[in-house]
Chains A and B, each alone.
Chain A
Amino acid sequence: MAEEAHTATTEAPHEGGFPPFDTTTFPSQLFWLVVTFAFLFTVLWKVAGPRINGAITGRRGAINSAIEAARKARGDAEAAEAAYRTALAGARARANALAEENRQALNAEIAQAKSEADAKAAEAMAEADTRIAATRDAAKAHVSVAARDAAITIVARLTGDTVSPEDAANAVKS
């Protein structure tokens, strides 16, 4: 009790003394320092530190994943462009092939039509030739018959004999 009274009186700042060196205040200072520093340490260690760390790493992660997504989107766009280019090239090739095929089909058709027309013309020509030949033969036959008849008539007129048509024909022929 006596000690308590003693410290209580010296606790008050005495005139002219240097307060930081007043050892009677040290127990209170140490006690409150331990309590408050332990509190601060616990809060920063268990709550604030992980929280701030989470915010920083979370932001870093979000930025990195956004960059990653952007890179991926660019890759996708490039891939899409490449696919478009190949599709375009394919379509162009197919169009060319189709045109070529068409042209060939047309050429073949034309050639066929031409050959058909040629064949028809040749046929007509051949027909005409045979007809001409037939006409010629017929004419030739008519000529020999006419000569035979003429010979028969001449012989009959001149000699009065009747010559058989066969003989007349032979005679004419020879």
Chain B
Amino acid sequence: MAMNPMEQFAIKPLVSAPLFQIAGHPIYFTNQALLMIIVVVASSLFLTLAVKPGRLVPTRGQSMAELSYEFVANMIHSATGEDGLKFFPFVFSIFMFVLCSNFFGLIPGSFTVTSQIAVTFSLACLVLGLVVVTGFIKHGIGFLKLFVPAAPWYLLILLVPIEVISFLTRPVSLSVRLFANMLAGHTMLAVFGGFVVSLGAAGGIFTGLAIAPMLLIIAIMLLELLVAFLQAYVFAILTCIYLNEALHLHDHH
């Protein structure tokens, strides 16, 4: 009955034959692909159908949709100011994608899209790519001033490489934070789930003891619900902060 807690992160093709190939790489329809489709279709349908523009008193669903909309809009507004709002669709999509992936991943038996470093790193690279493109469009070559803090020249020899390295590590920190949080939480749930099963199977006094890891699972589950939201929020707010730097360099304090 020993289960590998890492097994839940395995990506398995649901259709054994590859759909097609891109540059020699076969593309499979996997359990992760199914969850991604469920996530985006569910969130798209919910955010579209729960809202009726003419409705003065919102229903419960419409309130949730409007709440998430205004939550992201306020986040962007407070982090980047008025001119950051043109990135609203992007930040809203990032937030909803991560949030729904995290929440759907908590359904037992499903798959956590954001527990894959490939997904989180791609999203982080997308964010930082947008930051770089925005910075160069807005400031031209002056965007490189982002790496030159206000300091005496002899300190700059030290500071500029540090700034460059810290910028280059952002995609890593952004992606690993989300990936590791999801991975750790789900691993913990699986490990304690394994305890429940093995204690329950042991018989005798151990069967009664199985209640302890079970209660722990409930507590961790509640914590994971919080983490699921929190990590989506952190991912989105960091996206806003990075975009703010691209828009305003250092002058926005």
Answer whether residue A166 sits at the interface, using C-beta atoms and an 8 A cutoff.
no
Q: Does A19 contact B (CB under 8 A)?
A: yes
Q: Chain A 41-69, CB within 8 Å of chain B: the 1/0 string?
A: 10111011101111110110010000000
Known: A19-B6, A21-B117, A59-B56. A37 touches B93 (CB 8 A): yes
Residues of chain B within 8 A (CB-CB) of A56 are 66, 69-70
Select one of B6, B53, B89 contacting A18, CB under 8 A: B6
In contact, B93 and A22 (Cβ under 8 angstroms): no
A52 in contact with B118 (CB, 8 Å): no
A25 touching B30, Cβ below 8 Å:
yes
Q: Smallest distance from the beta carbon of B182 to chain A beta carbons, Å?
A: 10
Cβ of B48 and Cβ of A27 under 8 Å apart? no
> How far, in whole Å, are A30 and B11 apart by their CA atoms in the complex?
13
Interfacial residues of chain B within 105-129, with CB under 8 A of chain A in the complex: 115-119, 122-123, 126
Inter-chain contact B47/A44, CB cutoff 8 Å: yes
Q: Among the listed A25, A40, A59, which residue makes an inter-chain contact with B44, where contact means beta carbons less than 8 Å apart?
A: A40
| Chain B residues with CB under 8 A of A15 | 4
Q: Is A28 an interface residue (CB 8 A)?
A: yes
Interface centre among A3, A41, A48 (most CB of B within 10 A): A48
Task: Return A102 CB to nearest CB of chain B, in Å.
Answer: 61
Q: Assess whether B69 is in contact with A52, with CB atoms less than 8 Å apart.
A: yes
B54 with A32: CB separation less than 8 A:
no
CA distance A51 to B30 in the complex (A): 32
What CA separation (Å) do A18 and B12 show in the bound complex? 13
Chain B residues lying within 8 Å of A12, measured Cβ to Cβ, are 12
Closest chain B residue to A49, Cβ basis: B89
- Cβ A55 vs Cβ B52 within 8 A: yes
Task: Say whether A48 contacts B26, CB under 8 Å.
Answer: no
Q: How far is the CA of A26 from the CA of B183 in the complex (A)?
A: 17
**Pairs A–B under 8 Å by Cβ, sample size 15:** A11-B12, A11-B13, A19-B7, A29-B119, A32-B27, A33-B36, A36-B37, A40-B97, A43-B44, A48-B47, A52-B51, A52-B69, A55-B53, A58-B54, A59-B58
List 20 other contacts, CB 8 Å, given A11-B11, A36-B33.
Answer: A3-B24, A11-B13, A19-B10, A20-B117, A29-B30, A30-B118, A31-B27, A33-B122, A37-B93, A39-B40, A40-B40, A40-B96, A41-B93, A48-B44, A48-B48, A48-B65, A55-B54, A55-B66, A59-B58, A62-B56
